[in-house]
Structure 1
């Protein structure tokens, strides 16, 4: 079903999607659409603190990659987004959040790496590859997500996708030839509702409630005190 509405992620759905991301070796954090700068999901190869077990009082962190997901999505705006290939208006309401998360997972496991291009000795070729990298990676992430949501179904090409089919195929071939991506099955993080939770999910009581009722209250206080000390120390050094 497709409606013009604002979807808001619930606690149960967050926990389901967090287990999905952990299977691909990354955590899942939430932030408002505004705080994410007007996007619905974000992937970065930079790591952030992830707590091994938030039900324990001890703050034990590892540096891990974590996907960020918007807490709300306006369906009409998302379906109107201009994409390099796929028409997002094909998504039903119930498919939107799983698609966004799988799109970000796709960036993690099936994308060309920016650093591989930076290290290319041929400057002209490097520039060519850099020009097409973003849209090719977006195309690949969309393809990955669509296959997870609608396995075996043809890609729903948008008008841009139809118009740029040959161009995008050429861009993909360029990158495949000069900086071939290595597809590796990522090592899964330990599963479980309270395992490997991004420390940012302890910032507020509202965010911690998404994780579950057994999040350690003393751990929350310790994590927040740690951030306040860090900010204060940072100011003193400037």
Structure 2
């Protein structure tokens, strides 16, 4: 349980089902993705999901729910190497057993303990001369807060700090106090969502059901009619990947490095100004 290797870690079907229940408890549905980019995970937007994957009914069978995406594999060695230069939390201290759970809860943390950048944009766009700079500072602080929240949920020891994190503790505290004054503080938006209920067959993203091995990941009682419709949906997705996450991030960024919405290995490094 305490191993730290340089191997590539893969989510197992049992882990997926466990993590999917955690996501549902926070009002989200979990979808895995595979791609050659270095994206680890992200939250945002809505995903179509089957309310009950065992039912063949078409009427009222779907819900759009907030999604949480995780890459099906993570290079633990690369995360640790780059994690030594992260904003505050030293990710090199994560064990293999903690690695995926940390990223799962980091993404949940963006809902459960973050400044609401959307509310700030709605209130201040075009009015605040420091708008762009403040928004950037909020996004930076949200990464720190998501790390702190994830560590508290996953690890049973004090959060280790990177050299940068040790150096800037006072500055970080002042920054968070400043943003608290502007926004009223972080908010918890990881709330229950209609029709997102616990249970392996409940609230299953269509793109998970479209997999040829859906029964392995979800369970043997998935309705064949549901998987067929999900595969038809996925065929449409594949015709224009630029409309769907996470693929659209790669198109926007010119391929491979993503945008600020997602978490990549490259994003682990922040300049020390």
- For the aligned residue pairs, the C-alpha RMSD in angstroms reads 2.2
Report the CA distance between 1:43 and its aligned residue: 1.1
Alignment of 1:1-238 (within 5 A): 1-34=3-36, 37-44=37-44, 46-59=45-58, 60-81=61-82, 82-118=85-121, 119-120=123-124, 122-151=127-156, 153-180=157-184, 181-183=186-188, 186-187=191-192, 189-207=196-214, 209-228=216-235
Say whether the 8 Å CA contact 1:201–1:208 is kept in structure 2: no
Tell me if the contact between 1:117 and 1:129 (Cα under 8 Å) persists in the aligned partners.
no
Cα distance in 2 for partners of 1:100, 1:229 equals 30
Describe the SS at the equivalent of 2:220: coil
**Distance in 2 separating the partners of 1:74 and 1:128:** 33
Q: CA deviation at 1:230?
A: 7.8
- In the alignment, structure 1 segments of 5+ residues that lack a partner are 233-238
Gapped regions of structure 2 (runs ≥ 5): 240-273
Q: Tell me, in whole angstroms, the C-alpha distance in 1 between the residues paired with 2:56 and 2:219.
A: 15
Taking structure 1 as reference, are residues 67 and 185 closer, same or farther at Cα in structure 2, changes over 3 Å only? closer
